[in-house]
Structure 1
Amino acid sequence: MINKRLQVLLIGLLFALNTLNAQDLKLDYYLPDNVQYNPDIPTPKSVIGHEVGEWHITHDKLVMYMKAVAAASERITIEEIGTTHEGRTQLLLTVTHPINHIGIDKIRSDHSWLTYPNEADKFDVKKMPAVVYMGYSIHGNEPSGSNASMLMAYYMAAAQGPEIDNALRNTVVLIDPSFNPDGLTRFSTWANMHKSKNVNPDPNDREYREVWPGGRTNHYWFDLNRDWLPVQQPESRNRITKYHQWKPNILTDHHEMGTNSTFFFQPGVPSRTHPLTPKLNQEMTGKIGEYHAKALDSIGSLYYTKEGYDDFYYGKGSTFPDINGGMGILFEQASSRGHAQESANGILRFPFTVRNQFTTSLSTWSAAVAMRVELLEYQKDFYKRALREADGDSHKAYIFKAEKDPARTYHLAEILARQEIDFYRPSRRIRLDGEEYMPDNSYIIPLKQRNYKIIKAMFEQRTTFEDSLFYDISGWTYPMAFNMEYHEMSSRDYGRNQLGEKVDILPFPKGEIIGGQSNYAYAFEWHGYYAPRAANKLLSKGVRLKVSTNKFTDENKKEFDRGTILIPVAGQSVSSFDLFEMMKKIVDTDALDIYALNTGLTGGVSLGSNSFVTLEKPEVALVVEAGSSSDIGEVWHLLDTRMNMLATKLQANRLGSNAIDRYNSIVITGSLNLSEGAMNNLKRWIRNGGTLIGTGSAVGWMSRNKLTNLKTIRAEAPSAEEISYDQITNYVRGQNIPGGVYMSELDLSHPMSFGYYNENLPTFRRGNTIIEPSESKFANPGKYTDSPLISGWISDANLETLKGTSTIRVSALGSGRIVSLVDNPNFRAFWYGTNKLMMNAIFFGRLVNRVSAQ
C-alpha cells in the first residue's frame, strides 16, 4: 500500500515538474499553506520584479530584497558584515522574536559563554534559544540556495500563528543569503543573458554551459568552501568573525550537484568522518536528518543520505562547525544549471530546486526548535570534553617560529587569532631539538583551552585512517604548510611558567635599516616572505638590482646567504636620498632587514664579482581558459594581492601569437590544447630566453609535448580480482593521491632554493604526476625524501613509487628555461612555505645554468 502511494506521488510530481511554466509560478508554490502571512511584509516579487525562480536572482536585487524585508519586519535586523574583492556587500540577517531582539546582545553573550567550560554551568540552557546559521550558495553557480534565502526571510518575517511565535522565541536564526556574492553575480548574469522566452531544456544549450572560469568561485577563482579553516579570502574572514561571535548550534550549507542526481543531506559516509568529530555529533546530525526526510517526503522529493559525501576536511562549511561545538549540515540539490534542463528524473526546473532548498531550511528550523535543549547541552558538553581530552593528550603545547622570516610567523599567528585560539610569547628562551625559541620570534599554543579541537585539527600529523577515500584532501598540517620550525611539546617539555604575554594584538612585523644611510650599497636577504615584493617594487621604479649566487660576509662579519639582493647606490636613476627613502618604506611594509654596506671588499666574493647577477624585472603572463581556474587563480592572487606584481591573464589561444614576446615568464597550471603552430611559437619564445613555469598536471603536459625530457612514472595498481562490481568506482578512486603533506629536500645552492635555509621543505601534493629523478644530482634541486609521508593518506604502491622522485626540475631550451614544479606551491593561499618556489621560478629561473638544466 505504501509503495503504491509513493508511486502515485512520484508520478504526480514528475507531471508537475514537467508542466510548471514561468507564467504558472506563484509564491504559494513554495510556501506552506497551513499558516497565514502578514500582508505588510513585502513579497520577493514586489521588490525584485519577478517571482523567485522565474529568473536567477542577481546579487544587487538579493540585497535590495533583504533590506526591504528587514525594514518591514520587527523580527529582523540586518547588518553589512564586509565586502568582497569586487566590493559587493555581504549581509547577515538576524531573525528572532521581537522580545529577543530587545536583549539580543545578552542572548549572544550568554550563548558564547556556553563555549567556556568554567563558565557554562552558570547558564540554564532550558531558558536559552538555539542559534542557527543558514548559509547559501558558497559556490556561485549553485544558486538555488541564494534564491531560497529570500523565501526563508519572507516566511520568517510574514508567517503568523502560535507555532511561528514559539519558534521565533526559542531560536535566533542568522541568514547569510549569499556566501559568494561575486560568484553568484557571475553565474546569474550568464544564466539570465542566455534564457529564452520559451525556456529550452536541451543540455546542449549555451545557457547550461558556462564559459571558463564559471561562477563557482570568487573573484580570484578560489573555492570559498575550502577556506573556512585557513580564512585567506575576505568573504571568509568576514563570515568567520560573525560565526565566532555567535557559535551557532547548527549551520546549513546549501549546495548543488550533478543534474541527474536528486537531493542529499548529511550525515555523510560514516567511515569518512574525521576522528576529532564526536560520534554524538553524527548521531544528532542523523536525528536532524529525520526532519529533512519528513519535509521532503511531504512534497514528493527524492533524496539520499550517508553516502557520497563526507565530514573529514574541516575547511568546509559543513564540517567546520563539527569542531566548534555545533552541527554542520550539507545540502546538495541536483542542479538545473539554468532555468530548466533535461535530466534522468525528467525536466529539472529551477523553481523545483529552490523549493527543495527552502523546504530543508524550514525543516532545519523545526529541528532546532524541537532539539533546542539537546543542541545547547551538546555544545556546552563539547567544550568540557575538549578540556578533558587535552588533559589526556600526550602533547601539551605547540611552539613555532620562522627564525629568518617573521612575516610567515605572523601570518600563521593571524589564522590562530581569527579562529579564537589563545597563544602566547615564550616567557624565556626555550631550547628543543637543537632549535632555540625566543620571546621575540616564537609563539606557544597551550593545548588545554576551549579550542583544543581546532588546534589539533590544524597541527596534527595524521597518517592512519578508517577509510581510504576522501571527498577532499586528507592532510593539511599548518606548521608544515608554513614551513615552520616547530615542536610538539610533551609534559616534559612544557610548563605553564613558559607562557609569557598572551597575544591579543598582533602587529605586522617591521624590519630595520642596519647601518643607516649608505653611499655605497644596500642588501637584503631573500629569506623574507615579502622579499620578492620589495625587489619588484624597486625594479618597477627603475632601480638596478643584483642577486648573489654565492654567500658573502660584510665588514661586520654578517654572513649573507645565496639569493641576497644587492642594491648599488652609484649609477642608479634615482638619487641616494630617494633610494634611502625607498629602503625605509620597505622595512616598514615588507618585514625585511636591510643592511647598509660601505665597502665592496667583502668576505667570500666581492660585490663587483660576476657572482652577482643583474636582475630583470619580471613580466608575467598567466595562461587562462585552460586547466583548473583555481590553480591559476592561486598564482594570480599571490602575485596581485601579496606581491603587488602585475600579472597578465593571457588566453591560451594567444600563445600562438607574438603577444607573448612582451613577457619573460609564462605560468601554466594545466594541460593545454595547442595547435602545432602555437606550440612552435611557444618553443620559439622559450629559445629566445623566456621562462615557462608549469605546476601540477602541467608538468605532465610539458613532458608529453616534448618541451621537457622528464619521464613520468606511475605506481602499479594492486590486483582488482577480489573487487565486486559495485566497488569499481571506489577501487579506481583509491589509486589516486587525495592530497596531503610530504617532505622534500632541497639543494640550497640552487637558484630555485634561494631564500630557504633548511634543506627539508614540506610540500602539498595531490594527484598522480610523479617525475623520475635525473641521473645528474645537479638537475634535482628538489626531491622527495626516502620517508616522504608526513600527513594524509596514500596507497603503499604510490608511496613507494614517490620516494626519491623529483619535486622540482629545470630544463633548458635554447636560451630559455622550463621550470617544472610537480607540487602546487600556492595551494589554497595558505601554503605560505612553498610560495617562494613560484617566486624563485619567476625571478631566478633564467639564472639556472645549462649544465644543471636537464
Structure 2
Amino acid sequence: MRLIFLILVIVITNVTAQTKTDLNYYLPQNTTYNQNIPTPESVIRHHVGEWHITHDKLVHYMYALANASDRITIEDRGHTFEDRPLLLLTITSPENQANIDTIRDKHITATNNSTVNNSNMPIVVYQGFSIHGNEASGSNAALLLAYYLAAAESSEVKNLLNNTVVLLDPSLNPDGLQRFAYWANTNKSKNLNPDPNDREYREAWPGGRTNHYWFDMNRDWLPVQLPESRARIASFHKWLPNILTDHHEMGTNSTFFFQPGIPSRTHPLTPKLNQKLTKRIGDFHAKAFDKIGSLYYTEENFDDFYYGKGSTFPDINGSIGILFEQGSSRGHIQESDNGILTFPFTIRNQFTAALSTLEAAETMREDILQYQHDFYKNARTEAAKQNGKAIVFGDEKDAAKAYHLAEILERQNITIHNIKNDFSVNGKQFKKGNSFIVPKNQKNTRLIDAMFEKRTKFQDSLFYDVSAWTFPLAFNLDYAENVSTSNVGDKIENLKPKSGHITGKSNYAYLIEWHEYYTPKALNQILSSGLRAKVAMKQFNLNGTDYDYGTILIPVQNQNKSSDKLYDFLQNIAKENHIAINTANTGLTQGIDLGSSQFRALTLPKIALLVGDGIRSYDAGEIWHLLDQRYDILVTKLDTKSLNRKDLSRYNTIIMPSGSLAADGTKKIKTWVENGGTLIGYRSALNWLNKNEFIKIDFKKMEHTAEDISFEQRSDYRGAQVIGGAIFEAKQDRSHPINFGYKNDKISLFRNNTMFMKADKQSYNNPIRYTKNPLLSGYISKPNLDSLSLSVPFKTKKLKAGRVIAFTDNTNFRAFWYGTNKLLMNAIFFREEL
C-alpha cells in the first residue's frame, strides 16, 4: 500500500511539474506590472523554467528589456572565446540613470576620501549568475529579476531603485551556459522523467560547468586570465559594489545555502565586521525562505578563504561577497532526498535570494556604505605605515613573466612602477625593463598583501579550495618585500610588453637563449617553417656573452630560406615573441663550439592531447589553453572513446592529463610508445602508468592512524590529510633538459595531491627534487610534509624506442602558474634528450 501511495505521489508530482509555470509562481503579487515591459515569455517564447534558457535567448531578452525600460541601461563589455557577448545591465530609477556617472563618481570618491558623507548615496549591488554553466537556475532567475525590477510598479520597488544601483550580470559563463542548455533541452522528454538515471541528468564530457577551455570560471577572480573574468573585474573596480552575490548550484539532495560559511575558515585579512554584516544580510534570506517554505542552511560546508572566488574576492576589496548554493535539478525534474525537485522550484529559490539581497541592501544601506567607507579609511592608515616601502619583482633573464604579473596587478587597480635603475637585493638582480616595483602606500594595499603573502599557519586545517596562491612564486620570479621606494621609477600608465629585437644580420648562425617565456612559441614557429634548429646541452661564451643550457642555435647554411629571408623571418619572430635573437659570426666559442655534437638537432613536435571520458577536463583544458592561446602550437584533441580507431603514427608526443584509459586504449598507447613516441603523463595518470608498466614508480605509502578522534570528528580528520593546494620548494639540476630556461636552482611548485614518488638512487635521475623543508606557503599536514620531503615530482624513462615522462604536479594550474609552464614545454621540445 505504501509503495502504491509513493508511486501515486510521484505521478501526480510529475504531471504537476509538466504544467507550464507562469510568472505568478515566481513573482510577488503585491504589485502591478507595467504592461509595456515585455515578459520573458513574450520574447523567449516559453515560460521561465519550461526550458533551459539558451544564452542567445537570454541576450535577446535583456536587450528587449533595456529598449523598453527607462530603468535599465545595457553594456556589452567584450566577448567569450566562443564570441558570445558579456553583458552587464545597470538597473536603477530613471532619475538615477540620468545621473549615473555622477553617482558612480561619488561612490568611488567615498572610498578615497575620509570626509565624504555617504549617508544619502545609493548602495551598489552586483548580482552575478551561473558562473558554472550547468548551475543554470541562476541565469534563468536573472530573467525574472530583470523583468521584476523593470516592470514592478509598487512603491517598495520604486524606493528600492531610488536607493540602489543594481549591476546585473545575467550570465558569468555564457559558453558553459549554452553548452548545458543544449544538453538539457535536447534530452528533455515531453513526459518529464525524474529518474536520476535518465540521460538528461548525465552530461557528456566535459559538461557545461566550465568555459570554452574547460576552466572553472569561479577560480579566476584574482588571477584574471580569461576574457569573462577581465570583463567582470573591470566592472567591479569601475564601481566597487557594496555587495556582490554569486548564484550557484550544488548536489541534487541538498537544499539551499547562503553565507556566512564556516567561521574558522575565513581568511584572516577579511575584517570581522564583514562576516557580521554577512550574517545580518542572511537574516533577510532566512525570512524570505521561511515565507515560501524552502529549506536552507548556513555556516557549513563552504568557506571564505581563497580570494579568487566570486563570493570571497569582494571581501578583500571593501565589499561583501555572498555565495548562494541551490540544490540542482540538473535538468527539468529529478528525484531527491527532499522530494521531487523541479527546475522552476530551483529558479524560484534563486530569485527569492536575489530579492532578499536587495531588501537587505536597502534596509542596511547606511551601515554597509559606512563599512566600505571605513574599510578604505583603515586601509589608508595601514598603507601610510608602509610609506617608503615597496615590493619589487622581476627576472633578469625573462621580461615576459614579470610583464604578465604586472598585467594582473594593473587589472586589479594596483599601481605599479618601473624601477629607476638596476639594483640587487639578497643576491637577486633586478634589471630595468625586466622588473616592476609596487609601492605599499596605496589604496589597494590589502589586496597587495593578499596576492603576495606567504602563509603557513592557519586556524583551521580544512579548505574548500586552495590554501596558497602567492603570485611571485606562481610566476617563479625573484622578488623582495620592504625595499625602499627610492628605487621607484616612472608610474606605469599604459603597460606594454618589452620589445623584441635581433642584434644584426649573420651569414653564419643565430642564437636564442631559452629563458624568455615565449621562446617555445618562437621555436615552434621556426621548426614549423621547416628551418633547422639545435639546442645546446652545455653552457658556453661567445663574444663576452654567457649562453646558458638550452640555448637555441639556428644555422644560416643549408636552410630552406636565403640568408636575407632568414634574417627577415627571424626579425619578425623576435618582435612577435618579445625575445632577443643574437648574431653569431663565428662558430668558435669558449666552451662548446657551435659545430659541437653537444648541440642536438630538434624536431617539430606533433602533439596529441587525450580528452574525453576518463580524463580530468580541468587539467586537459589548461594544457589545451596553454598550447593554443599562449604558444600558438597546434594540438590534436584525441577523444578516448575513439582512440582505437585513430592513426597514432601522426604524432610524436601524446599528453595524458590526470586520468586513466580502458584496457584497449592502454594497449594502443603502449605500442605507440614502444615504437618511438613520447608520452607525458600528469598527476593521477601516474597510477595508470605504473599499473600498466609504462614506467616503474616507487610511491611512498601513506598510513594515517587516527588517535583520540571521535566519530563526529572523523570527516575533519580525513579532510586535514588532503593537500587542497599549497606551494612547495624544489631543487633543480639546471644541466638537465627538463630544467632548461631556469636561471635559479630552486623552483616553486604548486601541488594539490598526495602522490609522493621516491627519489632514484642515482642523483642525476632526480633533476627536480623537493627540498628537506619544502613548504613555502599553504597548508599541509605534518605526515604529508614528512612524506613530501626529498621526494621527486618528475621522472622519465625509456620504453623500448620511446619515452615516458611523469609529473606528479600540475605545471599549468589555472592558467596563472606561469613559472612552471616551461617544464611542460621542455618535455615537449627536448623529449629526445631527456
Fold-level match, TM-score > 0.5? Answer: yes
Inter-partner Cα distance in structure 1 for 2:389 and 2:302 = 33
Deviation per CA, 1:151-170, whole angstroms, max 9, x where unpaired?
00000000012211111010
Indicate if the aligned counterparts of 1:423 and 1:446 stay in contact, CA closer than 8 A. Answer: yes
Show the counterpart of 1:564.
551
Deviation per CA, 1:5-33, whole angstroms, max 9, x where unpaired?
xxxxxxxx999966633334111100011
Inter-partner Cα distance in structure 2 for 1:778 and 1:551 = 18
Establish whether residue 32 from structure 1 lines up as the match of residue 55 from structure 2: no
* Identity %, equivalent residues: 54
Q: Which amino acid aligns with 2:512?
A: F
Q: 1:345 aligns with which of 338, 358, 363?
A: 338
Inter-partner Cα distance in structure 1 for 2:64 and 2:458 = 49
Aligned CA RMSD, in angstroms, stands at 1.6
**1:196-275 correspondence runs (5 A):** 196-275=189-268
TM-superposed CA distance for 1:531, in Å, is 0.4
Show the counterpart of 1:5.
none
What's the secondary structure of 1:39's corresponding residue? coil
Show the counterpart of 2:531.
543
Show the counterpart of 2:596.
609
Q: Which amino acid aligns with 2:597?
A: N
Establish whether residue 715 from structure 1 lines up as the match of residue 702 from structure 2: yes
Show the counterpart of 1:336.
329
Show the counterpart of 1:3.
none
Indicate if the aligned counterparts of 2:386 and 2:441 stay in contact, CA closer than 8 A. Answer: no
What's the secondary structure of 1:710's corresponding residue? coil
Deviates more, 1:333-342 or 1:664-673: 664-673
Establish whether residue 623 from structure 1 lines up as the match of residue 616 from structure 2: no
What's the secondary structure of 2:654's corresponding residue? strand
Inter-partner Cα distance in structure 2 for 1:396 and 1:468 = 33
Deviation per CA, 1:715-762, whole angstroms, max 9, x where unpaired?
331x32422222222222111111111001111000101111101000
Inter-partner Cα distance in structure 2 for 1:242 and 1:810 = 46
Indicate if the aligned counterparts of 1:17 and 1:349 stay in contact, CA closer than 8 A. Answer: no
What's the secondary structure of 1:218's corresponding residue? coil
Show the counterpart of 2:797.
811
Q: Which amino acid aligns with 2:34?
A: N
Inter-partner Cα distance in structure 1 for 2:657 and 2:312 = 29
Distance 1:795 1:216, change over 3 A: same
Inter-partner Cα distance in structure 2 for 1:487 and 1:16 = 67
Show the counterpart of 1:294.
287
Establish whether residue 156 from structure 1 lines up as the match of residue 149 from structure 2: yes
TM-superposed CA distance for 1:246, in Å, is 0.4
Show the counterpart of 2:825.
839
Deviates more, 1:719-728 or 1:410-419: 719-728
Inter-partner Cα distance in structure 2 for 1:763 and 1:17 = 53
Indicate if the aligned counterparts of 1:740 and 1:792 stay in contact, CA closer than 8 A. Answer: yes
Inter-partner Cα distance in structure 1 for 2:173 and 2:829 = 34
Q: 2:728 aligns with which of 715, 724, 742?
A: 742
Show the counterpart of 1:10.
none
Indicate if the aligned counterparts of 2:396 and 2:431 stay in contact, CA closer than 8 A. Answer: no
Establish whether residue 509 from structure 1 lines up as the match of residue 498 from structure 2: yes
Show the counterpart of 2:425.
432
Show the counterpart of 1:61.
57
Deviation per CA, 1:204-244, whole angstroms, max 9, x where unpaired?
00000001100000000000100000000000001111111
TM-superposed CA distance for 1:428, in Å, is 3.3
Deviation per CA, 1:658-688, whole angstroms, max 9, x where unpaired?
521111111111221321x432322221122
Q: How many residues align?
A: 825
Indicate if the aligned counterparts of 1:425 and 1:442 stay in contact, CA closer than 8 A. Answer: yes
Q: Which amino acid aligns with 1:372?
A: R
TM-superposed CA distance for 1:656, in Å, is 3.6
What's the secondary structure of 2:48's corresponding residue? coil
Show the counterpart of 2:3.
none
Show the counterpart of 1:685.
672
TM-superposed CA distance for 1:391, in Å, is 4.7
Deviation per CA, 1:548-592, whole angstroms, max 9, x where unpaired?
1111222x1212111111111111112222211111112211121
**1:27-426 correspondence runs (5 A):** 27-116=23-112, 119-121=113-115, 123-391=116-384, 396-426=389-419
Deviates more, 1:105-114 or 1:221-230: 105-114
Establish whether residue 761 from structure 1 lines up as the match of residue 747 from structure 2: yes
Inter-partner Cα distance in structure 1 for 2:643 and 2:774 = 37
Indicate if the aligned counterparts of 1:57 and 1:147 stay in contact, CA closer than 8 A. Answer: yes
Q: 1:632 aligns with which of 591, 602, 620?
A: 620
TM-superposed CA distance for 1:417, in Å, is 0.2
TM-score under structure 1 normalisation? 0.95
Inter-partner Cα distance in structure 2 for 1:463 and 1:649 = 39
Structure 1 alignment gaps of length 5 or more: 1-12, 849-854
Show the counterpart of 2:509.
521
Deviation per CA, 1:363-417, whole angstroms, max 9, x where unpaired?
0010110111111111111011112334556993211111100000100000000
**1:644-793 correspondence runs (5 A):** 644-657=632-645, 659-675=647-663, 677-717=664-704, 719-793=705-779
Inter-partner Cα distance in structure 2 for 1:506 and 1:768 = 40
What's the secondary structure of 1:225's corresponding residue? helix
Q: Which amino acid aligns with 2:29?
A: D
Establish whether residue 552 from structure 1 lines up as the match of residue 540 from structure 2: yes
Inter-partner Cα distance in structure 1 for 2:429 and 2:743 = 15
Inter-partner Cα distance in structure 1 for 2:667 and 2:138 = 47
Deviates more, 1:838-847 or 1:136-145: 838-847
Inter-partner Cα distance in structure 2 for 1:242 and 1:194 = 36
Inter-partner Cα distance in structure 1 for 2:74 and 2:12 = 36
Distance 1:587 1:24, change over 3 A: closer
Q: Which amino acid aligns with 1:50?
A: H
Inter-partner Cα distance in structure 1 for 2:351 and 2:437 = 45
What's the secondary structure of 2:595's corresponding residue? coil
Indicate if the aligned counterparts of 1:395 and 1:488 stay in contact, CA closer than 8 A. Answer: no
Show the counterpart of 1:579.
566
Indicate if the aligned counterparts of 2:383 and 2:443 stay in contact, CA closer than 8 A. Answer: no
TM-superposed CA distance for 1:622, in Å, is 0.6
Inter-partner Cα distance in structure 1 for 2:38 and 2:643 = 53
Establish whether residue 23 from structure 1 lines up as the match of residue 11 from structure 2: no
Q: Where has structure 1 moved over 4 Å in runs of 4 or more?
A: 13-19, 391-395
Q: Which amino acid aligns with 2:650?
A: R
Inter-partner Cα distance in structure 2 for 1:190 and 1:844 = 41
TM-superposed CA distance for 1:440, in Å, is 2.9
Establish whether residue 820 from structure 1 lines up as the match of residue 788 from structure 2: no
Indicate if the aligned counterparts of 1:132 and 1:171 stay in contact, CA closer than 8 A. Answer: yes
Establish whether residue 499 from structure 1 lines up as the match of residue 485 from structure 2: no
Inter-partner Cα distance in structure 2 for 1:509 and 1:350 = 52
